[in-house]
A and B are shown apart, each in its own frame.
Chain A
Amino acid sequence: MELSLWTYEGPPHVGAMRIASAMRDVHYVLHSPQGDTYADLLFTMIERRNTRPPVTYTTFQARDLGGDTATLFKDAAREACERFRPQALLVGASCTAELIQDDPGGLARALGLDVPVIELELPSYQRKENWGAAETFYQLVRTFAVQSNRSATDARPSCNLLGPASLGFRHRDDVREVTDLLARLGVRVNVTAPLGASPADLARLGDADFNISLYPEIADPAVRYLEKRFGQKTVRSIPIGVTGTRAFIDEVLQVAGLPAIDAESLGRACGLRLPWYSRSVDSTYLTGKRVFVFGDATHAIAAARVASREFGFTVVGLGSYSREQARDVREAAALYGLTALITDDHLDVESAIEALQPELVLGTQMERHIAKRQGIGCAVISAPVHVQDFPARYSPQMGFEGANVLFDTWVHPLMMGLEEHLLAMFREDFEFHPDAQPSHLGAAAPVLAPAPAAEPEPVAAAETGWAIEAERELRRIPIFVRGKARRNTESFARERGLSLITVETLYDAKAHFSR
């Protein structure tokens, strides 16, 4: 048993729902108790879908457990086919139905439906959402992609774009960005799947010259199958950031047998601004900012690369909840001299962030809240995300426009250079000192007494106390870094067994930590 307050991933049948909902003309009959329909609202609320997800739940209750749950399942499957007329029927069990062992596959086959039935074996007590999505997509591809009709009409090289799904972080806009980029390279997209594809589209997967695994967490088993079945090559570079996009372009051109191009001028033609923004003097202050990265493996690895090579940050922590891709994350972390944090316990992530005291956190919805609690800036780079990260505006993560989006998104929570400079320069100024009233309140505003109450008591007050002058000095430090300065100084003093923190200690600690 694992004590859990929050989970990065849902159960595997939610992964299957993400595939069914992404596709057209597919229906999923899920053997499940009353209440599992909660998952519908992830799609209708977070993703703001305007239709119900194509899922029928058998909704068994305690009184059904005597033995007619199998009948319930058969009725639900038959009625779903009559009502929704899908091209493919997915059938499977949620965690509870897995325990009652009704065999949805066998039951559905016994119905003799005139539609292909795909039986999903999703072990709920071992696996999770992304695995469920990958397995479901693989089973669909295996069922429908049976024939190759390559080179039929179009002379241009063609590819399939695989992995984008419902509830995917920015999948909608990534698909558009990557499709446009491929068009500029002279590569045609044959099928994008599962997002927007029907089973009939999957049947055409073999027509493409190669595949692009856009989100390996979902696409990997399917592309490996297609490599074997049709000998299609796979592009595995993830086009996130400028470096990632250039590597992706190189790999696509190579796999497609097209001549190399000047990626830099292509970037300019596409309106790429990250390289110049990052070189402009205002960004000098980004140099060496300490950043902690956590998310699914694909986004975390890409973000670490972009942070270090394109923003000039120092990556101080890298981790992922994707156990299936743990090896890749470990390899990536080694590039920065780090040990990867592979965990799905958000409390582990919280303590890692607390110990490292980064200046920026790049993570999921959960890291955003952890960072908020610790007063650290944060930007979201990966699912799971909340409704605000399914934005109305165009906001890809991939390609050249994606790089522009990353620049704005990641820099925003940080103090911009000019702002930081001004605050530091004027921090002794009577109007800028930490206890000053906001100027818009005017002279009528009550003058606050120097407010020691606003400052939390030092945690280790018993062992290490602050001398009055040191406390005063601490309060001259701008408020947004004061907490960090306090923690650093206290841990510095504790390590050295100092019982009193003086101004000296404060500056010794500053020197120690700025090395």
Chain B
Amino acid sequence: MNISVSPGACAAPVLKERGQREVFCGLTGIIWLHRRMQDAFFLVVGSRTCAHLLQSAAGVMIFAEPRFATAIIGERDLAGRADLDDELDRVVGRLLARRPEIKLLFLVGSCPSEVIKLDLGRAAARLSRVNEAGVRVLAYSGSGIETTFTEGEDACLAALVPEMPDTAPGAPASLLVVGALPDTVEAQFRSLLSQAGIDRIDFLPQRRLAELASVGPRTRILLAQPFLAATAKALEERGARRIPAPFPIGIEGTTLWLEAACRAFGIDPAIVSKLAEAPKARAAAALERARSALAGRSVFFFPDSQLEIPLARFLAREMSMRLVEVGTPYLHRQHLAEELAMLPPVQISEGQDVDLQLDRCHAARPDLVVCGLGLANPLEAAGIATKWSIELLFSPIHGYEQAADLANLFVRPLARRAMLEV
């Protein structure tokens, strides 16, 4: 596929804003991560607010005995530090006794635990040594003061990197695909890449701790998500090298992503393109219908997950939408270099001052706004169609077979507005 690199976007000044941010904290990542890592348990050490956030974001999932919980810090715990360690030991002991199937326990730091400087890393090391069940205990921060929404996944995966074994000397080069993907998407990517001739393909995270891939200087990493800065850095420190590529969103993104992987392994990228002909044709046909609904419509992204730039690139280039503003909570220029080169000229904003951004949004009157659930209904009530963004993290959207599903997530709110007569 030919890429016409537009010169505009990359060079455009990014609007950096600080102010009220209408975003989730990194704790939210637990909700999809725990589904992915099946022998892991996520214990947030935090306040009642943290527990309330998790149950608000997890919806009905909370009733299925999920593998996450909150150790709520009480007034007594704030009195002295030593007491907190004992309390944590007691809570973890009770938890592990109740859930014997757990092999990996994450202690997840929160704003309160970080402000009182509770050293969860040290606690994790101690608990790893002392627990009788042999459960590995790790720590990372999902706090709002450190992480925004998907950065929770990044922090979690980065904490897993030191657990990955070293690649055996003389082992063949391997591809490590990084970022939690739904099973179906993972299977599709694995199938295409292995048919193209990449022998060793691993994914991070894996379903079980024991299946954790090895890493070393012959590991090439391919990011499946744009929000994995710390994980990539930790892997690079182990000698792995990142394959620069846009993200596998839409036909174009998926093709370039697969081709970049092949190229890194000295495989002719035409091979993977040839293998992907059937799914590409299917996706193209399905996207044609969505394009007729989206073409020419304008879209405004509020910052949320860091997926905004790849999504905007897809909507602009493959769906012919007009971009008004693309907000992202954090812009990792290096990981997004290929995306930025493909993005049509548009105002990118990093960070947020939500009141000012809402002013801009209302002034622009876009046809569609991608935003969080706190903003969606108020915008709808003001006559602006919205697509709530958290669904983009919970639904399979990557790869060829999911491209039309992704496009339809944006079609549906517009189609619905057109249908309703009341």
Q: Which residues in A have some Cβ–Cβ distance to B below 8 Å?
A: 1-7, 9-11, 13-14, 33-42, 44-45, 48-52, 56-62, 64-65, 76, 79, 83, 94-96, 99-100, 123-126, 128, 366, 369, 373
Residues in B with CB closer than 8 Å to A3 are: 69-72, 91, 94-95
Q: Which residues in B have some Cβ–Cβ distance to A below 8 Å?
A: 19-28, 45, 47-49, 51-53, 55-57, 60, 62-63, 65-66, 68-75, 77-78, 84, 87-88, 90-91, 94-95, 111-112, 114-116, 143-146, 148, 355, 372-378, 380-381
Q: Are A35 and B24 neighbours in the complex by a CB distance under 8 Å? A: yes
A186 to B232 Cα, complex, angstroms: 72
A13 to B25 Cα, complex, angstroms: 17
Q: Are A124 and B374 neighbours in the complex by a CB distance under 8 Å? A: no
A284 to B148 Cα, complex, angstroms: 57
Question: Residue of A at shortest CB range from B144?
Answer: A35
- Identify 4 new A-B residue pairs, CB closer than 8 A, beyond the known A38-B25, A44-B374: A9-B48, A35-B53, A44-B377, A95-B49
Residues in A with CB closer than 8 Å to B52 are: 7, 10-11, 14, 39
Q: Are A52 and B375 neighbours in the complex by a CB distance under 8 Å? A: yes
Q: Are A100 and B381 neighbours in the complex by a CB distance under 8 Å? A: no
Residues in B with CB closer than 8 Å to A5 are: 51, 62, 65-66, 68-70
Q: Are B20 and A11 neighbours in the complex by a CB distance under 8 Å? A: no
Residues in A with CB closer than 8 Å to B378 are: 44, 49-52
Q: Which of B19, B27, B47, B114 makes the CB contact (< 8 A) with A59?
A: B19
Q: Are A65 and B57 neighbours in the complex by a CB distance under 8 Å? A: no
Q: Are A124 and B47 neighbours in the complex by a CB distance under 8 Å? A: yes
A127 to B60 Cα, complex, angstroms: 25
What are 8 sample pairs from A and B whose C-beta atoms fall under 8 A apart?
A: A1-B73, A2-B72, A4-B48, A34-B145, A36-B53, A40-B373, A44-B376, A369-B60
Q: Which of B62, B144, B374, B377 makes the CB contact (< 8 A) with A33?
A: B144
A100 to B115 Cα, complex, angstroms: 7
Q: Are A60 and B145 neighbours in the complex by a CB distance under 8 Å? A: yes
Residues in B with CB closer than 8 Å to A64 are: 145
Interface contacts (Cβ under 8 Å), in number, total: 181
Q: Are B144 and A1 neighbours in the complex by a CB distance under 8 Å? A: no
Q: Are B115 and A37 neighbours in the complex by a CB distance under 8 Å? A: no
Q: Are B374 and A40 neighbours in the complex by a CB distance under 8 Å? A: yes
Q: Are B23 and A34 neighbours in the complex by a CB distance under 8 Å? A: yes
Residues in A with CB closer than 8 Å to B56 are: 38-39, 41-42
How far apart are A123's CB and chain B's nearest CB, in angstroms?
Answer: 7
A415 to B335 Cα, complex, angstroms: 60
Residues in B with CB closer than 8 Å to A51 are: 378, 381
- A3-B71, A10-B48 in contact; A50/B381 too (CB < 8 A)? yes
Q: Which of B27, B62, B75 makes the CB contact (< 8 A) with A6?
A: B62
How far apart are B350's CB and chain A's nearest CB, in angstroms?
Answer: 14
Q: Are B71 and A2 neighbours in the complex by a CB distance under 8 Å? A: yes
Residues in B with CB closer than 8 Å to A100 are: 115
Q: Are A1 and B91 neighbours in the complex by a CB distance under 8 Å? A: yes
- A7-B52, A37-B23 in contact; A369/B63 too (CB < 8 A)? yes
Residues in B with CB closer than 8 Å to A42 are: 56
Chain A contact residues: over half helix, strand or loop, or mixed? mixed
How far apart are A48's CB and chain B's nearest CB, in angstroms?
Answer: 6
Q: Are B20 and A57 neighbours in the complex by a CB distance under 8 Å? A: yes
How far apart are A369's CB and chain B's nearest CB, in angstroms?
Answer: 4
How far apart are A228's CB and chain B's nearest CB, in angstroms?
Answer: 29
Most B CB contacts (10 A, CB to CB) among A10, A13, A58, A125 go to A125
A49 to B66 Cα, complex, angstroms: 29
Q: Are A35 and B377 neighbours in the complex by a CB distance under 8 Å? A: no
Most B CB contacts (10 A, CB to CB) among A48, A52, A59, A64 go to A59
A7 to B47 Cα, complex, angstroms: 11
Residues in B with CB closer than 8 Å to A4 are: 48, 51, 69-72
Most B CB contacts (10 A, CB to CB) among A6, A14, A37 go to A37
- A45-B373, A59-B19 in contact; A34/B25 too (CB < 8 A)? yes
A197 to B306 Cα, complex, angstroms: 40
Top 7 nearest A-B pairs (CB, nearest first) are A35-B25, A35-B144, A40-B374, A50-B381, A96-B111, A95-B47, A34-B144
Residues in A with CB closer than 8 Å to B23 are: 34-35, 37
How far apart are A79's CB and chain B's nearest CB, in angstroms?
Answer: 8
A49 to B33 Cα, complex, angstroms: 30
Q: Are A10 and B20 neighbours in the complex by a CB distance under 8 Å? A: no
Residues in A with CB closer than 8 Å to B75 are: 123, 125-126
How far apart are B327's CB and chain A's nearest CB, in angstroms?
Answer: 15
Q: Are A7 and B21 neighbours in the complex by a CB distance under 8 Å? A: no
Question: Residue of B at shortest CB range from A1?
Answer: B87
A49 to B375 Cα, complex, angstroms: 10
A76 to B18 Cα, complex, angstroms: 11
Residues in A with CB closer than 8 Å to B91 are: 1, 3
Residues in B with CB closer than 8 Å to A373 are: 63
Q: Are A62 and B146 neighbours in the complex by a CB distance under 8 Å? A: yes
Question: Residue of A at shortest CB range from B23?
Answer: A34
- A7-B52, A50-B377, A125-B75 in contact; A65/B116 too (CB < 8 A)? no
Residues in B with CB closer than 8 Å to A11 are: 47-49, 52
Q: Are B88 and A1 neighbours in the complex by a CB distance under 8 Å? A: yes
A3 to B143 Cα, complex, angstroms: 18
- A3-B71, A62-B114, A95-B49 in contact; A37/B377 too (CB < 8 A)? no
Q: Are A37 and B21 neighbours in the complex by a CB distance under 8 Å? A: yes
How far apart are A78's CB and chain B's nearest CB, in angstroms?
Answer: 12
Q: Are A1 and B72 neighbours in the complex by a CB distance under 8 Å? A: yes
Q: Are A125 and B47 neighbours in the complex by a CB distance under 8 Å? A: yes
Q: Are A1 and B372 neighbours in the complex by a CB distance under 8 Å? A: no
Q: Are A99 and B116 neighbours in the complex by a CB distance under 8 Å? A: yes
Q: Are B145 and A125 neighbours in the complex by a CB distance under 8 Å? A: no
Question: Residue of A at shortest CB range from B89?
Answer: A1
How far apart are B420's CB and chain A's nearest CB, in angstroms?
Answer: 15
How far apart are B151's CB and chain A's nearest CB, in angstroms?
Answer: 10
Residues in A with CB closer than 8 Å to B60 are: 369
- A3-B94, A38-B57, A51-B381 in contact; A33/B74 too (CB < 8 A)? no
Residues in A with CB closer than 8 Å to B48 are: 4, 7, 9-11, 95, 124, 128
Q: Are A125 and B114 neighbours in the complex by a CB distance under 8 Å? A: no
Residues in A with CB closer than 8 Å to B63 are: 366, 369, 373
A37 to B112 Cα, complex, angstroms: 16
How far apart are B150's CB and chain A's nearest CB, in angstroms?
Answer: 13
- A5-B62, A7-B55, A33-B143 in contact; A49/B377 too (CB < 8 A)? yes
Residues in A with CB closer than 8 Å to B68 are: 5
Q: Are B377 and A48 neighbours in the complex by a CB distance under 8 Å? A: yes
Q: Are A96 and B55 neighbours in the complex by a CB distance under 8 Å? A: no
How far apart are B133's CB and chain A's nearest CB, in angstroms?
Answer: 17
Residues in A with CB closer than 8 Å to B27 are: 35
Question: Residue of A at shortest CB range from B373?
Answer: A41
Q: Are A58 and B73 neighbours in the complex by a CB distance under 8 Å? A: no
How far apart are A65's CB and chain B's nearest CB, in angstroms?
Answer: 7
Q: Which of A2, A9, A59, A125 makes the CB contact (< 8 A) with B20?
A: A59
Q: Are B95 and A44 neighbours in the complex by a CB distance under 8 Å? A: no
Residues in A with CB closer than 8 Å to B24 are: 35, 37-38
Residues in B with CB closer than 8 Å to A57 are: 20-21
Q: Are A96 and B145 neighbours in the complex by a CB distance under 8 Å? A: yes
How far apart are A70's CB and chain B's nearest CB, in angstroms?
Answer: 15
Residues in B with CB closer than 8 Å to A56 are: 20, 355
A134 to B312 Cα, complex, angstroms: 45
Q: Are A36 and B20 neighbours in the complex by a CB distance under 8 Å? A: no
Q: Are A41 and B381 neighbours in the complex by a CB distance under 8 Å? A: no
A11 to B73 Cα, complex, angstroms: 12
A6 to B51 Cα, complex, angstroms: 7
Q: Which of B66, B71, B88, B374 makes the CB contact (< 8 A) with A52?
A: B374
A37 to B373 Cα, complex, angstroms: 10
Q: Are A10 and B374 neighbours in the complex by a CB distance under 8 Å? A: no
